[in-house]
Structure 1
Amino acid sequence: MRNHQLPHTLLILTLAATTLPACDKAKQTKPDQPAKQAPANLPPIVRHAPAKTQLLATLDTQTSGVGQTIMSELLARGQNCGELDPKTAIQSVSFVWAGPSVWRLDIRGSLAPKQAGCLLGMHTDDSGLTADGQLRLANAEPTGVALMTPDYSVAKGEANRELVASFVAASKGAEATAAIRWTPAGAPAILDVKRVGLDTLFRFHFSDESQRPKFVANLQRFFDKAPQGVSPTYELVDETNAVHVTVDEPSLAWFVRRGLVQFLNHPSGSMLPTIRVGEHLAVVREPLMLEPAAPGDIILFDFPQKSAKAYLARQPDNQKHCVQQSTLTSTTPPQFIKRVVAVAGQTVKMRENRLIVDGEEVPTKFIRKEQTGRYLFPHRAIVEETLGESTYRVQHNGRNDSFGPLEVPLGHVFVLGDNRGSSSDSRCWGTVPRDHIRGRAEAIIWPASDDGLDWHRLGEDL
C-alpha cells in the first residue's frame, strides 16, 4: 500500500452514459468547509454526508447499466433470502465515502434489513451490528436499507459545499452520477468539468509547476494514438499551473475511460492475495501518470506480444507452456495486471521463492501458513514484502521457485504476480516495454469476488 495525498480536488463523472451532464462551476471554498444549509430536496444520504466526504454517487438500478450489474449480482446471491421482486427490491443505490472507516451505502427499495443482510452475506445482532463490530445495517429514509461503518453516524454532518453543488449539477438528467474529490498520488488535480456548447472542458491544476510539462507530454502521446473520429484538444492557459482540455461529443467517453480513470474487473487469481478474483479496480490512466511506474506499483499493460515471442524463442521447450498461444497471437493483445518489481538497469533473480534485486534480498516478513486442500501443494505461505514505498503481501504455493538472474533492458520493467506460484509474468515471457503501460491500479472499488462480498476491502488502496 502506498501513502496517498490527501484528497483536494474535484472530478465529476457520469457513469454508464456517453456524455457528461451540464454543470456549472461551483464556488471555490476550502475543501473541508461544510455547507451552511444543503438544498432541502437532496437525498438524506447526501444532505447528511460527513464534511470530509470524498465521493458521492448514485445509481438507478432500473436504467443504469452499472446499476443493473450490481443489482443482478446482489439478487443472484439471494436465492435463500425470501421472495424478492427485481423491480422493487433494489431501485437505486447511493454511496458516500469519507475514508475506510467512514462510509455509507443506501439501497433504496423494498428490502428489509434482514433480507439485505442475507443478500450481502452478513450476520448481524438485533441492533444490526455485525459480529466483528465493523459494520451496521439499519433502515434508511424513506424506504430501504443503509449499510454503514459505526464511525459514520458520529462523523455525519453537512457535506462539503463544493461537492454537494457538483453532485446536484451532475445529477440533472443522469441515470448514474458521481461527484468525486480525490487526487491519486502524483496526479494533477481536476478542478472542474463543465459543458461549453457541445464540448466538455476539463480544467487541470498542478501544485508543482514542474508537473505541467510532463502532463502535456503525456497528453500529446495519448492524443497521437486516438482512434479515428476522436479529436480532443488542449491548451496551456495564463492561469497559474493550469491546462485546459476540450473534448468534443464523439471523443468524451473515450477520453474519460482511457485518459482519466478506468474501472475494470480482474478475472484471474494471479494477484492473490492483494486482488481477489472478480474484484473491480480503479485504474489511473496514462495521462495522469506523471511519475513513471516504479517498483511496488501495480500496473495495467498491453501484453507485449513481439518481445514475448522473442524471449520465448530463446527458452527451452519445457518453459514455453506458461503462456497461452492465443495471448501471443490475438489481433488485439490482452491486458494484464501485475506488480512492477524492477526497472531498467536492475538485475532480478529468485532463489527458493526469495526475490532478489541488484543482489539484495527484498525485505520479507512471514505472516501465516494456510491449507490449500490440494494433494501436491497442501499449504501456501502468505509473506509480506517491501519494495520502495510499497508494502504488500504475496503468496507461495509450496514450490521453491527460482529464476534468473536477468538484467532489465532500457525502457522496460520486470513484473510479477503477487500469487507467485500461479502467475504468467516476466519470469515466463520477459519484460514489459514502458510504452505498453496503460495505467496504474489505485484502489478496489467493488469488493465482490468469487469468495463473496467483503465490505472491509471497499476502497482499499493498492
Structure 2
Amino acid sequence: MAKRKKRNEWFDWIKALLLAFGLAFIVRMFLFAPIVVDGPSMLPTLHDRDQMIVNKFSYHFQEPERYDIVVFHASAQKDFIKRVIGLPGEHVAVEDNVLYIDGEEVEEPFLNEQKDNMKSYQTLTNDFTLEALPGGHEVIPEGHVFVLGDNRGNSTDSRMLGVIPIEQIVGKTNLIYWPFNRIQIVGKED
C-alpha cells in the first residue's frame, strides 16, 4: 500500500512537471518570448543587453503600426530589433534629418533628444529615398514594412536590407524587464 501511494505521488509530480513544461513551451513558441538587445542600433531608446519580452501574437489580430518596435528574422541565424517607419503603399524619404512619408513631414518624437544634442554640422540620418535603396521600390509593397534603428548612424536596417516582409516579423516588443534600473515600457514617444 505504501509503495503504491509513493508511486502515485511520483506519477503526480511527473504529470505536473510535464504539464508545466508543456505550457511553458506553448507560451514561448506562440505567445511571448524573451529577447536580448544586441548592439547600439536602437540607442537611446534601447540599450545593448536590455532584455525584453516579444509579443508574438499581436500581429495575428492587427497589422504593424508606424513606430512599433519589432523583432524580425534578418537571416536564418539572426533576429534584429528595429522601429517600423513606413507601411505598405507609402513612400519613405529623409532629407536634412527630416522624415517624409508620401511627401509629408512626419515627426519622430523618439529622436527629439538626439536632435536636441546634435551640433549644427552633424547629420542624424543621411538623406535617402526609397527608390535608391535595395529593391528600388517606388512605394513599400503590400505585406512589407520599412524599418530603421533609432541610432541612425549605427544601424543595419531597411536602408541596407530593403523592405521587410511582415511574415518575417516575430512580434512586437515594448517591455524592458532587465536590468532592474531599466525596467520600463517603451512606446512610440520613447
SS state at 2:117 partner = strand
Listed as ranges, the matches of 1:292-303 within 5 Å are: 292-303=63-74
Equivalent residue number for residue 340 of structure 1: 84
Residue 446 of structure 1 pairs with residue 171 of structure 2: no
Q: How many residues align?
A: 163
The 1-side partners of 2:36 and 2:140 are apart by 29
Aligned residues of 1:426 and 1:432 also touching (Cα < 8 A)? yes
The 2-side partners of 1:272 and 1:297 are apart by 15
Listed as ranges, the matches of 1:304-343 within 5 Å are: 332-343=76-87
The 1-side partners of 2:25 and 2:17 are apart by 19
**Aligned letter for 1:285?**
K
Equivalent residue number for residue 32 of structure 2: 261
Q: Judging changes above 3 Å, is the alpha-carbon distance between structure 1 residues 423 and 197 closer, same or farther for their aligned structure 2 residues? A: closer
2:117 to 358, 365, 369: 369
1:447 Cα deviation (Å)? 3.0
1:364 Cα deviation (Å)? 4.9
Q: Judging changes above 3 Å, is the alpha-carbon distance between structure 1 residues 420 and 287 closer, same or farther for their aligned structure 2 residues? A: closer
SS state at 1:409 partner = coil
Equivalent residue number for residue 129 of structure 2: 404
Aligned residues of 1:279 and 1:444 also touching (Cα < 8 A)? yes
Q: Taking CA–CA contacts closer than 8 Å with sequence separation of 6 or more, which of the two structures ends up with the larger relative contact order?
A: 2
Aligned residues of 2:45 and 2:186 also touching (Cα < 8 A)? no
The 1-side partners of 2:123 and 2:107 are apart by 20
Q: Which has the higher helix share?
A: 2
2:98 to 354, 363, 385: 354
The 1-side partners of 2:58 and 2:66 are apart by 19
2:146 to 414, 424, 439: 414
1:284 Cα deviation (Å)? 0.7
Aligned residues of 1:348 and 1:358 also touching (Cα < 8 A)? yes
1:259 Cα deviation (Å)? 1.3
1:286 Cα deviation (Å)? 3.2
Equivalent residue number for residue 430 of structure 1: 162
**Aligned letter for 2:39?**
S
1:399 Cα deviation (Å)? 5.4
Q: Judging changes above 3 Å, is the alpha-carbon distance between structure 1 residues 369 and 409 closer, same or farther for their aligned structure 2 residues? A: same
Aligned residues of 1:289 and 1:439 also touching (Cα < 8 A)? no
1:400 Cα deviation (Å)? 5.6
Question: Between Structure 1 and Structure 2, whose CA radius of gyration is higher?
Answer: 1
1:384-407 Cα deviation digits (max 9, x unpaired): xxxxxxxxxxxxx63561111341
1:186-211 Cα deviation digits (max 9, x unpaired): xxxxxxxxx899647xxxxxxxxxxx
4+ residue runs of structure 1 moved beyond 6 angstroms? none
Equivalent residue number for residue 167 of structure 1: none
Q: Judging changes above 3 Å, is the alpha-carbon distance between structure 1 residues 198 and 423 closer, same or farther for their aligned structure 2 residues? A: closer
The 2-side partners of 1:198 and 1:278 are apart by 32
- Gap regions ≥5 residues in structure 1: 1-21, 23-172, 174-194, 201-248, 306-331, 371-378, 382-396, 449-454
1:230-284 Cα deviation digits (max 9, x unpaired): xxxxxxxxxxxxxxxxxxx5x5443221212112210111001110111111111
1:460 Cα deviation (Å)? 2.6
Aligned residues of 2:97 and 2:123 also touching (Cα < 8 A)? no
SS state at 1:421 partner = helix
Deviating more after overlay: 336-345 vs 359-368: 359-368
Listed as ranges, the matches of 1:199-238 within 5 Å are: 199=19
**Aligned letter for 1:421?**
G
SS state at 2:29 partner = helix
The 2-side partners of 1:197 and 1:282 are apart by 24
Q: TM-score, normalised on structure 1?
A: 0.32
